[in-house]
Structure 1
Amino acid sequence: MKSIVITLPSLSSGDAIGNDVISEYNLLKSNGFEVFIFAEHYEPQFAQYLCDFDTAKNSEVLIYHHGILWDKGETLLKDHRGKFRIMRYHNITPPDFFRAYNDELTDLVDKGRKQTLRLIKYFSYFIPASFYNAQELLNYKVPKELIEVIAPFNHVDELLSIQADIVTLDKLIGQHRPIVLFVGRKVPNKGLLHFVRTAKKYVDLFGKKVYFIWVGREDLRLGKYYDMINRYINDNSISDVVLFPGKVSISELKSYYLSANVFLILSEHEGFCVPILEAQSLGVPIIALNRAAVGETLGKNQLLFDEIDYERFAAAIEVLLNNNEYCIELSKYGKENYNTRFKNSLIKEKFLNTITGVLRI
């Protein structure tokens, strides 16, 4: 069997790309391939999976995960001696989302998107995580026949099987208020400002009877952005409505999903969106803004808005809180979307067939 090295800049727990890489590693390993991971930065628990630069350079196959600027990765591609190089394309956030808040992040993503154009010539095949990402590759003149869209692996199986954190669950349920939830990093492209503005509009229209909870970590480089968000929250007296618990464990995460009445995603740029699958698998009805890959991930018969309209978002939340039949309907179609399109068993089959097919070319 051919030796395969899966590459990414940084391998860490709780990261969607890292989860995708570990799942690919386990799948290929279990099917008889010699597999390693090359990462420039990694958490200690992943050391057992890793190889050095020379091993990666001399491997027969590179599966290169591209989602941020990575200079050493570009060097590896230039030096790679094997025959097969496959890009796993996760997309890179456009720089305009960061321009007003941090020069370093703006420069990083701008250079990352420019790097995408330079890297394309090194690859013989491309596996984007969504049709939205595939369209970007087509815009970069990648031939359609060299592209196969495959969703990233997810940890929904673990989320479904794990015990929810009882302390967190009791606390959330014990507050006796409906919960509007989002899960994701606190960054501009994920719609945090839209989220808090919707909370403000909801309070204006219906009162302080709902919690808006955003679960996810901050980026220390975005202090200016968080100052703006916090000023808005304080100026509009909604600090007792909008809550930020930060990064949580997977058992705590399940508690938030089980307590949520509505999952609200107002992100303006997603190359995929794993939290949609998490919410759907656990039966949480979703209200979403139709941007980037959100609509295609969400699937059919879901509550999807084409325009940013805080009053309509707030009204939709109120409708769901008072219409259990509609919630059940959205939940049914959401679970169907996850079960028929994004279960890991389906992704495994498609990914393995694609890789073995490419290696036979």
Structure 2
Amino acid sequence: MRIHQMTAALVYGDAITNDILEIDARLKAWGHESRIYGEHIEPRLAHLGRPQAEYEPFLGKRDDVLIYHYSLYTSNLELYRRSSQRKLVVYHNITPPEFFHGYHRDMEAKCRIGRQALPQLQGCDLAVADSDYNRRELVQAGIPADRTDVLPPFMNLAGLSGAACNPALAGRLRQAGTANLLFVGRVAPNKALEDLIKVVHCYRQAIDPHVRLWLVGAQPMPVYARFLQRLIVQLGLAGVVELAGQVSLPDLKTYYQAADLFVCASRHEGFGVPLLESMAFDVPVLARSSTAVPDTLGQAGVLFHGSDYGAIAEAVHLLLTETGLRRRVIDRQRRRLGEFAPEQVEARLRQALQRVGVG
């Protein structure tokens, strides 16, 4: 059977792109003809995808299946609407536009239009979402609950854990007697990275000055990145908080290996792949209880509420120093991670495909 995947973009290192490529690999392994289309495809990934215009000749092929990944408004929504194929929507969530106000006008507009357009997905045969939080948004958009389900994303944890580490970077990151806090993800306003910076400031003032924070991830919004840099300087944290930018797979592994605690203050997540990457490296997770984060963590990790930076700093200290607590958290994280094993996700993908008529 011929199966098409449509997405906004193929971007190196992006979690949605990784999910799409993993699905593509399995479709081909199961004997299907699989193609990927995007509005934007990074040149280094051009061999993996096709311009979305190349999908148009297949619009009327009723025996084909379209897997439509929705994470941002793009012009290919019109192709989805015009397609007469069986449709499987994969909803990765769209960040509410207000997070980007004053930081990125184009992203604010695309997210606003994207969320307003959610009801246009109602014509699908089945809509799956990364998390139950995302699935509930699909129901709120008018898709009947019995035509929705949860399909966690595939993650390239084996590729990350199997990558070679960077010895030079490891030597720089490891300092005796210093606790290393790590966040991985886009440097974007919904991640509330200013809260993490303020927690580190409180920790150094009230508990222990020997702590560092690494913020690892792409910086697509220069205005927000400059705001964070100013805050770092204002709080006297230059050399303590590092905006590392997007890094290679070996460097990312090195950061995880050097981390003592993964911290996340995000106010909006559709899933949160780095939460599980941390679990793969036995790094305890402390995260804000927001949107899809509780769904992803399950009974693993430690959640916090609100913005009491002093209280959050105390939680950081407990997770850094209480050996028994760390061991219990890591044990729960190992069990939780097993629920996202590739074979588990594969089984759920097969079920979703069967529901749209793929044998």
TM-score normalised to structure 2 length = 0.94
- Alpha-carbon separation, structure 1, partners of 2:106 and 2:44: 29
Letter in structure 2 aligned against 1:180: L
Q: Which residue of 1 aligns with 2:192?
A: 191
2:111 to 106, 109, 112: 109
Once the two structures are overlaid, the 10-residue window that deviates more, 208-217 or 349-358, is 349-358
Q: Which residue of 2 aligns with 1:85?
A: 87
Correspondence list, 1:310-329, <5 A:
310-329=309-328
Once the two structures are overlaid, the 10-residue window that deviates more, 350-359 or 289-298, is 350-359
Correspondence list, 1:108-257, <5 A:
108-117=110-119, 119-174=120-175, 176-219=177-220, 222-257=221-256
Alignment CA distance shift 1:100-1:46 (3 Å): closer
Q: Is the partner of 1:311 in helix, strand or coil?
A: helix
Q: Cα distance, 1:102 vs. partner?
A: 2.9
Q: Cα distance, 1:250 vs. partner?
A: 1.0
Query: Deviation per CA, 1:266-297, whole angstroms, max 9, x where unpaired?
Result: 10100001001100111001111000001110
- Alpha-carbon separation, structure 2, partners of 1:22 and 1:104: 27
Q: Which runs of 4+ in 1 moved over 6 A?
A: none
Q: Which residue of 2 aligns with 1:64?
A: 68
Alignment RMSD = 1.7
8 Å contact from structure 1 (residues 89, 127) kept in 2 = yes
Query: Deviation per CA, 1:62-104, whole angstroms, max 9, x where unpaired?
Result: 1000000111x1221233132x011100000001111132322
Q: Cα distance, 1:174 vs. partner?
A: 4.2
- Alpha-carbon separation, structure 2, partners of 1:208 and 1:137: 45
- Alpha-carbon separation, structure 1, partners of 2:245 and 2:225: 13
Letter in structure 2 aligned against 1:27: R
Alignment CA distance shift 1:199-1:81 (3 Å): same
- Alpha-carbon separation, structure 1, partners of 2:321 and 2:309: 19
8 Å contact from structure 2 (residues 70, 92) kept in 1 = yes
Query: Deviation per CA, 1:144-170, whole angstroms, max 9, x where unpaired?
Result: 110110111111111122222222112
Q: Is the partner of 2:139 in helix, strand or coil?
A: helix
- Alpha-carbon separation, structure 2, partners of 1:153 and 1:55: 29
- Unaligned segments of structure 2, at least 5 residues: none
Q: Which residue of 2 aligns with 1:75?
A: 78
- Alpha-carbon separation, structure 1, partners of 2:57 and 2:349: 23
- Alpha-carbon separation, structure 2, partners of 1:165 and 1:75: 45
- Alpha-carbon separation, structure 2, partners of 1:303 and 1:225: 27
- Alpha-carbon separation, structure 1, partners of 2:146 and 2:31: 27
8 Å contact from structure 1 (residues 173, 259) kept in 2 = yes
- Unaligned segments of structure 1, at least 5 residues: none
Query: Deviation per CA, 1:209-251, whole angstroms, max 9, x where unpaired?
Result: 01111101101xx333233222221111111211111111111
8 Å contact from structure 2 (residues 41, 49) kept in 1 = no
Q: Which residue of 2 aligns with 1:11?
A: 10
Q: Which residue of 2 aligns with 1:357?
A: 355
Query: Deviation per CA, 1:184-215, whole angstroms, max 9, x where unpaired?
Result: 00001012111111111111112420111110
Residue 290 (structure 2) pairs with residue 278 (structure 1): no
8 Å contact from structure 2 (residues 118, 138) kept in 1 = no
- Alpha-carbon separation, structure 2, partners of 1:181 and 1:64: 33
Identical-pair percentage: 29
Alignment CA distance shift 1:142-1:167 (3 Å): same
- Alpha-carbon separation, structure 1, partners of 2:246 and 2:44: 19
Query: Deviation per CA, 1:125-183, whole angstroms, max 9, x where unpaired?
Result: 10111000011111112111101101111111111222222221122124652101000
8 Å contact from structure 1 (residues 289, 308) kept in 2 = no
Letter in structure 1 aligned against 2:265: L
Q: Is the partner of 1:5 in helix, strand or coil?
A: strand
Q: Which residue of 2 aligns with 1:344?
A: 342
- Alpha-carbon separation, structure 2, partners of 1:276 and 1:19: 16
Correspondence list, 1:12-31, <5 A:
12-31=11-30
Once the two structures are overlaid, the 10-residue window that deviates more, 50-59 or 227-236, is 50-59
Alignment CA distance shift 1:89-1:246 (3 Å): same
8 Å contact from structure 2 (residues 287, 303) kept in 1 = yes
Q: Is the partner of 1:185 in helix, strand or coil?
A: coil
Q: How many residues align?
A: 354
8 Å contact from structure 1 (residues 276, 298) kept in 2 = yes
- Alpha-carbon separation, structure 1, partners of 2:69 and 2:286: 30
